[in-house]
Every structure is written in C-alpha cells, then in structure tokens.
Amino acid sequence: MTPNDLLKRFFGGDRRALARLISIVENEDPRADSFLNEIYDHLKGAYRIGITGPPGAGKSTIVDRLVQNCRQAGKTVGVIAVDPSSPFTGGALLGDRVRMTKTELDPDVFIRSMATRGSLGGLSKAAQDVADVMDAFGKHVIFLETVGVGQSELDIIRTADATVVVLVPESGDSVQAMKAGLMEIGDIFVLNKSDRQGADLAYLEIQSVLQLKPVRGEWRPPVLQTVADDGKGIDELFRKLQDFYHYQKERNILSQKFQERVENRVRRYLEEQILRKYWSPETEKQFQRSLKAILERKKSLRQVLKEFAP
C-alpha cells in the first residue's frame, strides 16, 4: 500500500487502512507525521470517554456494555484498550478483548488493544494520536480504557472529555487513602459488582470522600452502582455520560478541554524533541564518564548536574 492509497482507503471507510494507520502512529514510523498532518483537518470532535480504576474492577465489561448502548443510539464507536508492557521483556499480554464480545462482529465498532510500551501514566504514549485517527475516521464515541491503576496513573484526565472511575466494594477501605489522585479525577464514579457484600458501606464511603472535595463548577460527580456482568445500572451510566456531555457543551468546557489538550501535547512533544536534540550520542558518552566519576567518588552528584545543566 502506498501512502496515498492508504489515505484514500482510510477516508473511504476501509477498516484495514484504519488498523494500518494506527500501527504506523503507534510505532512512530517515519510516515506517521505526514499522516497525522493529513488527518488533522478531519477531526470531528468525537466524545472521548476515559474509563479507569484498579485492576479487575470491571472496566472492560463496562466498556463492552456501554458500546452496546452507543450502538443502540446510532453512534459509531472506537475503543482503545491499554494493558501494561513488561518492563523486563517489552512483551505484553493484551486481554481486554476477551470481555468485549457483545458487539464483536459489528462493523461500526473498532477495538484496538495497545501496550503501554514504557509509559507510566496508565495509557500508552500514542493513545492520543490513535484517538485522533479514530476520530478522523468518523467514530462518534471513543472509549479509552486505561491499565488497572493505583493512585498516580492519571494521564487519562488530559486525554478524555469525561473520566469514569470504576471501583468495587473491596476498594472501600482504600478509598480513604485514595483521596488524592484517583478520587479527584472522576466526573462519574461507578461502584461495580455492587451485588457483593460490603457494597452499601463502600458506596457511603465514596460519597463521603467526594463530599469533602471542593466543587469545581456546577457538576457534582455522581456515584452509580452497577453490576456490569448482567447489565444492571449501565443505562443510568450511559445517561449520565450523555448529561455530562451536554453540560460541558453548553458551557464551552469541551472546547476548553480541547485547547488544554492541544497545549499539553505540543509541550510534551517539544520536550521530547528538545531532549533528543540536546542529548546527542556524544553527550551520552560524556554522561557515562561523569557517572563513573560519581561512582568512584571523584565528583559529587551535584557537580555533575551542574555540568549538564549549568
């Protein structure tokens, strides 16, 4: 496939071209920049929904259910499901698809599994670009499912228009400890597996933590109880996501978020490029020498820092 072919097929709605473009972007292939330029004009402002929460909370199952709701509402859907790469081998086992079977052969649902490839923020570095690619392809709603997170993998808020934090009754005890981080980023909180013992108590604990939170704007993050396995509570969650969309749209918050996202991405990209330019192979050699000097106690750590960043 030549680059022109690929783009033509992409804009013609060819799913294989979409898959290939995502790979090119994810692999930082030299062609990625020009493709991303080409599609930028075609961004249509898909609703980007982030789903995050601890491992095993039911994120994939909830996405699977929500995708169904979207389809019933006539919306086309893209899903980006992120799982961790091993820091030792670089390999990854991407298993979210196993739980996403409700709309499996629907041509208007496109699911892509991604590995973090060294990113620590709960998403993969290319996730934003991949969301752009899906947006330009014409997807109305894009779900971004993070890896199972603890307290600090919060990249999702800089990526999504709405962030859903999924917890389970067993998270109850740690909700207190999560006051900072995860408990601050949700626009909607979901207590999944709420048919389990301890759900009521956990629900109250989540509520009480949220009540202590300073309110920004008029939106008070609701807490919903779901049992994703049999679909309980999912319609309500879908409605809240729609409400939140309209709430943001009416107040221009969506375009504000878009601006912030653009600024953030440009900054990150520049940081990376500047570092790459500044850190030549020659600098790396010098750095290795200095490192040795530190270990041999010929220089102090601070002295070396000064050498590199005077």
Partner 1 sequence: MKERKIRVLIAKPGLDGHDRGAKVIAASLRDAGMEVIYAGLRQTPEMIVEASLQEDVDVIGLSILSGAHMTIFPRVLELMRENGMDDVLLTGGGIISEEDIQKLEKMGTGKLFGPGTNTNDIVAYIKEWCEKNRRAVEKEEVDS
**Smallest gap from residue 106 Cβ to partner 1 (A):** 9
Give the number of other Cβ atoms within 10 Å of residue 217's Cβ.
9
**Smallest gap from residue 140 Cβ to partner 1 (A):** 17
**Smallest gap from residue 203 Cβ to partner 1 (A):** 32
What are the residues whose beta carbons fall under 8 Å from the beta carbon of 256, sequence distance 6 or more?
Answer: none
The window from 63-71, 112-120, 160-168, 215-223 that contacts partner 1 (CB under 8 A) reads: 112-120
What are the residues whose beta carbons fall under 8 Å from the beta carbon of 212, sequence distance 6 or more?
Answer: 179
Closer CB to partner 1, residue 41 or residue 88?
88
**Binding characters for partner 1, 76-105, by CB under 8 A (x = yes):** ---------xx--xxxxxxx-xx-----xx
What are the residues whose beta carbons fall under 8 Å from the beta carbon of 185, sequence distance 6 or more?
Answer: 52, 154, 156, 157, 163, 165
DSSP string, 134-166: HHHHT-SEEEEEPPP--SS--GGGGT-SEEEEE
**Smallest gap from residue 109 Cβ to partner 1 (A):** 9
Quick check: helix, strand or coil at residue 68? helix
**Binding characters for partner 1, 28-67, by CB under 8 A (x = yes):** xxx-------------------------------------
**Smallest gap from residue 272 Cβ to partner 1 (A):** 13
**Smallest gap from residue 20 Cβ to partner 1 (A):** 6
Q: Report if residue 112 touches partner 1, rule: CB under 8 A.
A: yes
Q: Report if residue 23 touches partner 1, rule: CB under 8 A.
A: yes
**Beta-ladder partners of 80:** 112, 144
* Distance between CA atoms of residues 191 and 203, nearest Å: 7
Closer CB to partner 1, residue 55 or residue 95?
95
The window from 108-116, 222-230, 232-240, 286-294 that contacts partner 1 (CB under 8 A) reads: 108-116
Q: Which of 10, 22, 233, 237 binds partner 1 (CB under 8 A)?
A: 22
Characterize 83-101 residue by residue with b for buried, 16 or more Cβ atoms within 10 angstroms of its Cβ, and e for exposed. Answer: bbbeeeeeebeeebeebbe
How buried is 143 (Cβ within 10 angstroms: 0-12 exposed, 13-18 middle, 19+ buried)? buried
Q: Report if residue 117 touches partner 1, rule: CB under 8 A.
A: yes
The window from 23-31, 46-54, 191-199, 271-279 that contacts partner 1 (CB under 8 A) reads: 23-31
Closer CB to partner 1, residue 89 or residue 197?
89
* Distance between CA atoms of residues 7 and 236, nearest Å: 39
Give the number of other Cβ atoms within 10 Å of residue 294's Cβ.
16
Give the distance between the most distant pair of CA atoms in the chain. Answer: 69
Q: Report if residue 8 touches partner 1, rule: CB under 8 A.
A: no
User: Can you give the binding site for partner 1, defined by CB under 8 A?
Assistant: 1-2, 15-16, 19-20, 22-23, 27-30, 85-86, 89-95, 97-98, 104-105, 110-113, 115, 117
